[in-house]
Amino acid sequence: MSSLFITFEGLDGSGKSTHLRRAVSWLEERGVPVCQTHEPGGTPLGDAIRRVFLDSQWGQIDGRVEAMLVFASRRQHLLELIEPTLAAGTHVLCDRFTDSSCAYQGSGRGLPADWIDQLDLLATERRRPDVTLYFDLPATSAYERGRSASRWARGDVDRLDDENLAFYERVRHRYLELVAADPERFRVIDSDGDKENTWHQVEAFLEQIFRPPEVTP
Ligand code: TYD
């Protein structure tokens, strides 16, 4: 099997990052070569961009500036980490990729889809993941999870966690449009239930994709 580029997408609070870590452990336990990474970030330059991107001290950042930051990080990530890792035969599991920019900067911030497409062309030559797990839940649930007292007490919040419910609604709506436009690539995970229920869906996907080859007698 050639190495796969698999992305995890969803609203903040959808649980995708927790399940990505669990998926990586699941694969490692079975001896499958896998690299875990994330966006914005994934390289030293990308992580520096990430710190700037998420820092609340800037207040409102213009949507175009946000888009240029995430795509700058993404180009470096593709060149320095993602493509060489895939070429070396290791699967890449990435927390967010271009779909996040379509949803957050496109619909969330209201940037026209063709501007995002032009940035995508410049930064990635429209590179698409092989598979995208989209963790779906109603915007209200994500919003409430994002604002949970324990999360704020842990300091586990960033600049975009402060957005309003309407922003979350627009982001989710765009994700659902992306899924409808490319059903072959997307696998929808219902993440509105409890953690174990969500994990079972992820595990079923992993078993289907990484099933050991059948030995013929
Ligand atoms: P992430 O680390 O996935 O945070 P969380 O675990 O809270 O979901 O992503 C950080 C934030 O960056 C998240 O609010 C979404 C945002 N983001 C964009 O707005 N555009 C992008 O292209 C990417 C990759 C992330």
- Segment 18-47, tens digit of pLDDT: 999 999 999 999 999 999 999 999 999 999
Q: Is 12 in the pocket of ligand 1 (CB under 6 A)?
A: yes
How much is the average pLDDT of 48-52?
97
So what's the pLDDT on residue 1? 80
Residues 6+ apart with CB under 8 A from 186: 131, 132, 133, 134, 178, 179
* Residue of 75, 78, 100, 162 with the most ligand 1 atoms within 8 Å of its CB, for mutation: 100
Checking if the pLDDT of 155 tops 70, the result is no
How much is the average pLDDT of 191-201?
96
Distance CA 133, CA 147 (A): 24
Percent of the chain at pLDDT > 90 equals 83
Looking at beta carbons, which pairs linking 117-124 to residues 24 or more positions away fall under 8 Å? 119/67, 119/68, 119/71, 120/71, 122/71, 122/75, 123/71, 123/72, 123/74, 123/75, 123/78, 124/71, 124/74, 124/75, 124/78, 124/98
Checking if the pLDDT of 164 tops 90, the result is no
pLDDT digit string, tens, across residues 100-138: 999 999 999 999 999 999 999 999 999 999 999 999 999
So what's the pLDDT on residue 213? 67
**Residue pair 26/203 in contact by the 8 Å Cβ criterion:** yes
> How remote is the CA of residue 212 from the centroid of ligand 1, in Å?
33
So what's the pLDDT on residue 202? 98
Q: Give the residue extent of every domain in the chain.
A: 5-209
Q: How many CB atoms lie within 10 A of CB 118?
A: 13
> How remote is the CA of residue 50 from the centroid of ligand 1, in Å?
9
So what's the pLDDT on residue 204? 97
Domain 5-209: CATH superfamily, name plus number: P-loop containing nucleotide triphosphate hydrolases (3.40.50.300)
Q: With H, G, I as helix, E, B as strand and everything else as coil, classify residue 169.
A: helix
Q: What's the burial of 193, exposed, middle or buried (CB within 10 Å: 0-12/13-18/19+)?
A: exposed
Q: Is 39 in the pocket of ligand 1 (CB under 6 A)?
A: yes
Q: Choose the weakest-confidence range: 15-24, 87-96, 157-166.
A: 157-166
Checking if the pLDDT of 68 tops 70, the result is yes
Structure-token pair, residue 54? 């998420």
How much is the average pLDDT of 66-73?
98
In the block, residue with structure tokens 């079923």: 204
Residue (of 26, 30, 5, 28) closest to 200 by Cα position? 26
Percent of the chain at pLDDT > 70 equals 93
How much is the average pLDDT of 80-86?
98
> What global pTM score does this model have?
0.94
> How remote is the CA of residue 21 from the centroid of ligand 1, in Å?
16
